[in-house]
Amino acid sequence: MARTTAARRTNSFYWLLLTPALLFLLAFLVAPFIMLIVLSFREVDSLLNVLPTYTFGQYIQVFTTGAYMTIIRSTLGVALLTTVICIVLAYPAAYLLVRTEKPGVRTFFYILLISPLLTSVVIRTFAWIVILAQNGLLNAVLLKLHLIDQPLSLLWSMKAVIIAYVQVMLPFAVLPIATSMGDIQPKLRQASMSLGAGRIRTFFRVTLPLTLPGMLSGAAIVFSLAAGSYITPLLVGGRLQPLLPLAIYQQAVQVFNMPFAAALSVTLLLLVGIVIALIGWISKRWEARLHD
């Protein structure tokens, strides 16, 4: 009885500690999200004034208009390509972080990895404008080396968007992979190699399967950030790139069609949620298979 009472008091104390954060999330996340969903079903008149009636018209327009379907496919494709490139580049970086034996060198690598996160995304994106512009650093180096005859047109394109995405989001892929790689018991690799498996076979039969959950976690983070990023494609790709965040901005700020912007926002959220749920399902199935 005494233990039950003590446990209840402990739980009450924990809930009391959580109350400010829960109230904050309820006021500034849950409530605005519900308002956004409600707004996405509201009708508008010819002057785009919001009416007190409801309709599925916004969603029908999103999924029956070729231009918006192209924007949805482009958004998912760019996010998927960014995710794949980040995971491919992040894996050897995470391996280097975990395998480095000298603490000072490992600390230096961690500082090198995390320091970009301490800098504003806007500043990092402007740096890419300086690098990718026609008179920028990259074209100057290529011209100096006589590798090209005239400056390449890299800025204001989807290529520039993907390059900037990868640089901005790479740390978010490295950290989960490094965490899962660091949790692997060295005895597992030693046992594999003592049984006759070489380094390559040990990597594919031991290291890679055990780090797949970390890769999936990194993929989920990078995909959600790439699909919803607005400032990076606007600065290095221009406002005409076929991406959903830019389309939402145009409808909300330039056209002032708030219900349609809300419908596009809910559509983007649902698409990202479906992909994240799929990645989570694959991760759980894989972990269950590893523990069988």
174: tokens are 């490295």
Nearest of 124, 125, 221, 208 to residue 172 by alpha carbon: 221
Enumerate residues 6+ apart whose C-beta is below 8 A from 166: 82, 85, 86, 89
pLDDT at 119: 82
* Class of 51-291 in CATH: mainly alpha
State the DSSP H helix or E strand holding residue 208, giving kind and residue range, or none if neither: helix 208-228
Nearest of 225, 228, 237 to residue 132 by alpha carbon: 237
| Percent above pLDDT 90 for the chain | 53
CB atoms within 10 A of CB 245: 21
Residue 228, strand partner residues:
none
Q: Is the dihedral of CA 252, 258, 259, 260 positive or negative?
A: negative
Burial track 47-86 (b if 16+ CB lie within 10 A, e otherwise): eeeeeeeeeeebbeebeeeeebeebbeebbebbbebbebb
Task: Tell me the pLDDT tens digit for each residue of 86-144.
Answer: 999 999 999 988 888 888 888 888 888 888 888 888 888 888 888 988 888 888 999 99
Cα separations (Å) of 26 from 11, 20, 33, 96?
Answer: 21, 10, 10, 41
**pLDDT greater than 70 at residue 1:** no
Task: Tell me the pLDDT tens digit for each residue of 138-165.
Answer: 889 999 998 888 888 888 889 999 999 9
pLDDT at 109: 86
Task: Tell me the pLDDT tens digit for each residue of 13-52.
Answer: 888 899 999 999 999 999 999 999 999 999 998 888 899 9
**pLDDT greater than 90 at residue 74:** yes
**pLDDT greater than 70 at residue 204:** yes
120: tokens are 């504003």
Enumerate residues 6+ apart whose C-beta is below 8 A from 146: none
β-strands 42-44, 50-54 pairing: antiparallel
14: tokens are 């924990």
Please give the mean pLDDT across all residues of the chain.
Answer: 90
